[in-house]
Each structure stands twice: as C-alpha cells, then as structure tokens.
Amino acid sequence: MSSSKARLAALRTDLERRNPAQPEFHQAATEVLDTLAPVLAARPEYAEPGLVERLCEPERQIIFRVPWQDDRGEVQVNRGFRVEFNSALGPFKGGLRFHPSVNLGVVKFLGFEQVFKNALTGLGIGGGKGGSDFDPRGRSDAEVMRFCQSFMTELQRHIGEHTDVPAGDIGVGGREIGYLFGQYRRITNRWDAGVLTGKGQGWGGSAMRTEATGYGSVLFAAEMLRLRGEELQGQAAVVSGSGNVAIYTIEKLTRSGAHPMTCSDSEGCVVDEKGIDLELLRQIKEVERARVSEYAKRRGASARYLPGGRVWDVPCDIAFPSATQNELHADDALALVRNGVKAVSEGANMPTTPEAVRILQDAGVAFGPGKAANAGGVAVSALEMRQNASRDAWTATRVEEELAVIMRDIHQVAHDTAERYGLPGDYVAGANIAGFERVADAMLAQGLI
C-alpha cells in the first residue's frame, strides 16, 4: 500500500473512532477520501501533516435545546444543530433541515458534502449545515412559527452575512425562512438581508432560488448527455420525491422536451404515462400538503399509484434521485441498468448508496454526484447574497443565465479534473478532487488554523 493510501486508511479508521454512530458522515467522508490518494501522491504540498485531517473536522459544532409550545398549550422540546464545517473559501453556507431523522451525524454528512459542493461553484462560500429533529408535517402555521422563533433565538448568535449564512432544505421552505428571518430581525434590530437565503422576492430574495436545485440537476444531466452526442429532448425520465427539488426537476425536464413520468413520497410512488401534471402536483404538495397518492386519484387513467413502489423500476433514459440520502440502492441500480438508463443526476444529497454508484459506473452510465449536480441551489443562494450586498434585484432571466453558466462550469471542472488524474468519465472523483484542491489551496495559504 502506498504511503498516501496508508495515510488515508488510517484517517478513515480514526474518523470512525472519533465519530461513533454517525454512518452517514462516515459514508460521505469515505467517498471523498477514497478519491484523494492520487492527488496526495501528485501534489506533495497536500500531504502536509494535518491538512486532510483538518478538512474532516468541523470548525464548530453547535447543539442546542429548542423549547416551544404547541396549539394545545403543551411544551415540546426539540434539538437544534448547526455544524460550521469549513470557512477557508468564505462564510459558512448551507441549509437548515427540519425532519425527525435529523441528528448530529446527518448534519455533519450534509455539512461535509457542502464544503466541496460550494467550492465547485467558485463563488467564495464555505460549507456548513444545520437543522432540527422537529417535524413540520401536520403542524399548524402558528406552531411552525413558534418553533422557528425559538430555534432562531439561539441560532442568531452564531450566524451573520460574513460568518454563516443558512438557507432552506427539507422541511424548510419559504414559510419557515420568513419566520426565521422575522425573529432574527426582531432580536438584532438589524435588517441584515444577507444573513439568510431563500427569502421571499419582495424582501431580499432572489428570483429562481426556488427552482435552482432542480433546474441545476437537469442542466448537469444535459451536459453529461451532450458529451455523448445526445440532448434532453425526447428522453424518458424518472424523478423521485415530490418536494421542491423534485417539482422543479420535473418542470425543467418538461420545458426541455423530456418526458418525466414519476414522483414519490415515503409511502409510495406515482407513474403517469402521459407525463407528470405539474399544476396538479403543485396543488397537492405545495398547497394542500397531501400525499402523492392523491395525485393518482385526481389525475385519471394515465396515472397509477404504487404503495411502497420504487420509481427505479420504471424503464427510463435518465434518472433523478431527488428525495433524500441513500434512497437508491444496489437493486435499484441494477433495475435501472437493465432498463437501459443512460444518465443519473443526483438532485438530493448522497441519495445513491456506494454499491449502487459502482454498479452504475461499471455499466457505463453517466453518473452526476450531488455535490456537483445539485449545486444549483447553493449557487443561486450565493447570487442572492451578491444581490443583498448591493441592495439589487436581478431578473429571473439574468439569474437563470448565471445558473446555466455555473452548472456548465461545474460539469467542465469535474470532467476535466477526472481526465487530468487518469479517471475519464468519473464525475465522482472529478468533483471530489476539484473541490478538495480549491479548499486545500486556501487552507495552505491561510496557515495552521
């Protein structure tokens, strides 16, 4: 075993020892570390003692109590998190997730991924992530507001436009960002528009922020297909999830002439042979906050609901895992390959298991990892920060044009970096190495901190 590989193997062992019971973080870190041996061998300066070790250790981990009162007058207590992972390239930047599955290990995995994703955008932002095990589903607006106000009462002391800039994620949309920003403004007596992104357009938000992650994932897939001499027009697509990312992935696919046929939630999936009806899906998910089974009931004969079903069994040309981590397993990857899938573009964070990634890559499927393919959301968040700094508001056309350029650049740097290290077509390695090089150069320049 080479010295670089031996060092990385020892680091993995130590990382698991020091971060017990955090399998998602272990998985995310291992994926990156497994690609770094040729970089450390080729670039001796990166082998400086402690560089990779520092990169794997968050600068700051914050855990706090979030007490709040429900509509019955009963006191509830949740746990809040903010992991500020790396600020070598700029202020910490990353979303807040409100979901029962949130724990420290999940937030650390998301924050670690965010470091490399944000580096790939080239927009001068570091990586962080946060959230709570609070579940907004089934809660009234008043309950969500009281929770958000309690959450921000603690979080506000740790964030700022030059320090840490949270955004939304699963369970945190425009409603929650509004309540969080209102409480921040109330406590600080400051209109710091740049302290949160994902705001409403009428009060400091950016056009296209809602659409950005889904649109970006489709743009990345289009670039992968372009290198194969194909385009999105006419391609049959499957999309998992039915939240923000999935909805706007479906929208962009439809506008690009592709044929998205599926959506899903934790209870099952819908297959619509005519193509997903966006307006109906939005009404059910964004207005009524109902389950996707309701879509099939209202859509008619073209749609069928499969309780417990998986979208990956549906024959398709391109696939977009857009729900949550580790949703696409080895058996799902085998089904996709059997059915002739050409490209997979991750809209969610780490939705494909390591075994499934290997199966897809070994079969010659173009695979776009989340830290590259779903970087559109944080890219437009950074553009929102830029608009806030100048007290400006860009048109949707300008933001979409900027997003398209950023996604093309991310695809290009991931592709070219993989080629440079003798790994042609491996977007996982290319994205990991390109992000690492940018962060590592900044860390070396700034000294041992």
Name the residues annotated as catalytic: 129
Q: What angle do CA 275, 281, 282 make, to 5 degrees?
A: 135
3-class DSSP state for residue 310?
coil
Q: Return the amino acid letter for 320.
A: F
Contact 175, 146 (CB under 8 A): no
Contact 332, 215 (CB under 8 A): no
User: Following DSSP, what letter does each residue of 214-263 receive, concatenated?
Assistant: HHHHHHHHHHHHHTTT--STT-EEEE---SHHHHHHHHHHHHTT-EE-EE
Tokens found for residue 260:
């998205």
Tokens found for residue 427:
């977007």
Tokens found for residue 307:
């309780």
Name the DSSP class of 96: E
Report the interhelical angle of 23-33 vs 104-121 (nearest 10°). 30
Residue 43 CA, distance from chain mean position:
29
Look at residues 398, 399, 371, 391 and name the one whose alpha carbon lies nearest to residue 209: 399
Count of residues for the chain?
Answer: 449
Name the DSSP class of 160: B
User: Following DSSP, what letter does each residue of 328-358 receive, concatenated?
Assistant: B-HHHHHHHHHTT--EEE--SSS-B-HHHHH
Q: What angle do CA 401, 321, 271 make, to 5 degrees?
A: 105
Q: For the range 52-58, what are the long-range contacts, defined as Cβ-Cβ under 8 Å and sequence gap of 24 or more?
A: 52/7, 52/8, 52/11, 53/11, 54/443, 55/86, 55/115, 55/436, 55/439, 55/440, 55/443, 56/11, 56/15, 56/29, 56/112, 58/83, 58/84, 58/85, 58/86, 58/108, 58/111
CB-based contacts of 72: which residues, under 8 Å, 6+ apart? none
Bridge pairing between strands 303-307 and 318-320: unpaired
3-state secondary structure 10-54: HHHHHHHHHCCCCHHHHHHHHHHHCCCHHHHHHCHHHHCCCHHHH
- Identify the bridge partners of residue 319 per DSSP, sorted by sequence position: 238, 344
